[in-house]
Amino acid sequence: MADLRSHSPIHNPWKLGGLSWPELGVRLWREGQNDELVGRAAQLGFYLVLALFPTLLFLTALLGLFPLQPIIPELLAYLREVLPADALSSLEKYLQQVVEGSGGSLLSLGLVGALWATSSGLTAIMDALTVVYDTKETRTLWKIWVTALAMTIGLAGFIILSAALVLVGEHIAQGVANFLGLGELFTIGWVIVQWPLIILFMLVAVSVIYYFSPNVEQDWRWVTPGSLVAVVLWLAVSLGFKLYVENFGNYNVAYGSIGGAIVLMLWFYLSGIALLIGGELNAEIGKAAGKQARLHALPPPVRKRSSA
């Protein structure tokens, strides 16, 4: 029975609800247009930009209160792998200004701004994914706000923990290697493992968004295909956009000092599209699996909420 269930499109999301990949692609294209994903991604990109600087203000002000300044260059080194140079230069200038003026007032101001802007962005994601699943919002306003705020705090804690592990992981690896007498072997292993670890952290964060945002009831496994596609698509889009900007599109020449800001906004816009495409993919797989379930008189794997 367990083997049959694992191969059933009703119980296994990787069976795509009985659809082939070309059929799923056609559905994604059609439903993406009907759900206005491109316009919603622009809205999401705006909120991401709005949330970025208060978040950086809070984090750098927090770091400024502790002897952790060397972490910032390491963080920028990781961002350099996916962000175009124009966008990264804008962030570096902003971070430098914040670090020089770090203090308690900046810390509280950044925290309030980050919570408000990020929760507003997550509210926009909740609205978009609810539309993607072809359902209506039945949750009360206070429940939407509490859910968005809880996701904001949870994701912020998860991101800080993940970033800290990645940034100081090499130092931990060196300490463990020295303690166990493994020499450079353990440290080299960490260098190899760190990027898969970063991708795993991203998968978990995206899965949390897909699980709690839409106004549907579903098991965790039904958000995994879209999460994987969204992360892979985001990495491909980010690296492709970085390659284009640094080799073909000189935004600083065309737009002057605001070129970096424009590149950053475009990157967030493309990131929003990748995130919503993953949600649309999960929704289409769930709809197809629900149709298969109805044919067999079984409960659908993805269900609309019966009440607020």
Residues 149-158: pLDDT tens digits? 888 877 777 7
Confidence class for position 136, pLDDT limits 50, 70, 90? confident
Is residue 15 in some structural domain?
Answer: no
Cα–Cα distance between 128 and 68 in angstroms, integer?
Answer: 38
* pLDDT at 217 > cutoff 60: yes
pLDDT computed for residue 1 by the predictor: 44
pLDDT in tens, 40-82: 998 888 887 777 767 766 666 666 555 555 566 666 666 666 6
Is residue 238 in some structural domain?
Answer: yes
Percent of the chain with pLDDT strictly greater than 90:
16
Cα–Cα distance between 2 and 108 in angstroms, integer?
Answer: 52
Confidence class for position 19, pLDDT limits 50, 70, 90? confident
* pLDDT at 226 > cutoff 60: yes
Is residue 1 in some structural domain?
Answer: no
- Least confident among 6-20, 98-112, 152-166: 98-112
pTM: 0.79
pLDDT computed for residue 280 by the predictor: 94
Is residue 198 in some structural domain?
Answer: yes
Query: What is the rounded average pLDDT of the residues 235-241?
Result: 85
| Number of CB atoms found within 10 A of residue 193's CB | 13
pLDDT computed for residue 224 by the predictor: 93
* pLDDT at 181 > cutoff 60: yes
Is residue 253 in some structural domain?
Answer: yes
Mean of the per-residue pLDDT values of the chain: 77
Output the CA angle 252-253-258, nearest 5 degrees.
35
Sign, CA dihedral 282-236-75-261, equals negative
Residues found in the chain: 308
Number of domains in the chain: 1
Is residue 5 in some structural domain?
Answer: no
Is residue 230 in some structural domain?
Answer: yes
Is residue 214 in some structural domain?
Answer: yes
Confidence class for position 10, pLDDT limits 50, 70, 90? confident
Q: Give the residue from 229, 273, 271 showing the smallest Cα distance to 16.
A: 229
Confidence class for position 284, pLDDT limits 50, 70, 90? very high
Contact between residue 168 and residue 197 where contact means Cβ atoms under 8 Å apart: no
Higher pLDDT, 64 or 272: 272
> Which residue segment(s) compose the domain that 202 sits in?
20-303
Residue type for position 139:
R
* pLDDT at 279 > cutoff 70: yes
* pLDDT at 301 > cutoff 50: yes
Query: What is the rounded average pLDDT of the residues 126-137?
Result: 89
Between strands 302-304 and 216-218, the pairing is antiparallel
pLDDT computed for residue 260 by the predictor: 66
pLDDT computed for residue 51 by the predictor: 75
